[in-house]
Amino acid sequence: MPLVTLKDVLQPALANGTAIGGLVTLGWEDMRAYVAAAEAVGCPVILQAGPGCREHTPLPVLGVMFRHLAEMASVPVVAHLDHGYTYDDCSAALDAGFTSLMFDGSRKPLAQNIAETRRIADMAHAAGISCEGEIGFVGYDQGEASAGTDPKEAAVFALETGVDAMAISAGNVHLQQDQSGGLDEDRIAAIQAVTDVPLVIHGGSGVPAEQRRRLAQTTNICKYNIGTELRMAFGAALRASVNSDPDRFDRVSILKDTEGSVQSAAETVLRAISTP
């Protein structure tokens, strides 16, 4: 089926008490595995191109890849720009056929973040696609510290930007390799009390799977970004494939060996959050 927008999948999720997986893509093999996982589970999937992915593969190429996968898929697929840092980043993704733009102004003062996000949202909506913004900085494991989302600021941000989804900082961090952390449910409740915009959790790999499932059912969290745990599955499968035969050199056959493991890991993620 054709690509759909972020709003197309998040609004039903909000109504049904489910969440959609925003799965971080780095190459053709994981993209295919993610769509196959969504088809196996019977749920939509959001294919996300973050800065690392875009540095390796140009946006126009990614747009064609995402569109091809969507057209062949039996479930809704969103082509999502993750962490666009400038207007030009987002404009280029729009031109490349993406159906959702995430502008990250979370490091900027509130007024500047609102103004710049509003400009992106207006551009997206004029083109008939969706926009995600971020309020409250989500940090990195063993790196930059997070700045938790202020519920009052979140209310203003949601109202004045007109975003279709709002990424928040509530104990989540990027690049966490285990699930020893957890989300601040009091902060999430306070944010949800002042806005009905679907909420997004970046760094979802570090959130305990049970908490991801429960909050998908009971809160306005409608999208979890999942990257690290899927990259770990890919890395383990790749090492096993390479080490299984030191004389192998064909990259296509080696990379194909990763798809089953990545699909299985993605199915586990998607099944837990997509069930009401």
Residues with catalytic function: 82
- What tokens does 230 get? 């899927």
How many whole angstroms separate alpha carbon 99 and alpha carbon 125? 10
Q: Where are the beta strands (DSSP E) in 72-172?
A: 77-84, 100-103, 130-135, 165-168
**Long-range contacts of the stretch 137-142 (C-beta < 8 A, 24+):** 137/106, 137/107, 137/169, 138/106, 138/167, 138/169, 138/172, 138/173, 138/174, 138/202, 138/203, 139/169, 139/173, 139/174, 140/173, 140/174, 140/175, 141/173, 141/174, 141/175, 141/176, 141/177, 141/206, 142/175
Phi (first) and psi of residue 13, to 5 degrees: -65, -40
Whether 150 and 187 have beta carbons less than 8 Å apart is answered as no
Residue 58: both structure tokens together = 């140009």
Which SS3 state, helix, strand or coil, does residue 197 take? coil
Q: Which residue has the tokens 């998040």?
A: 10
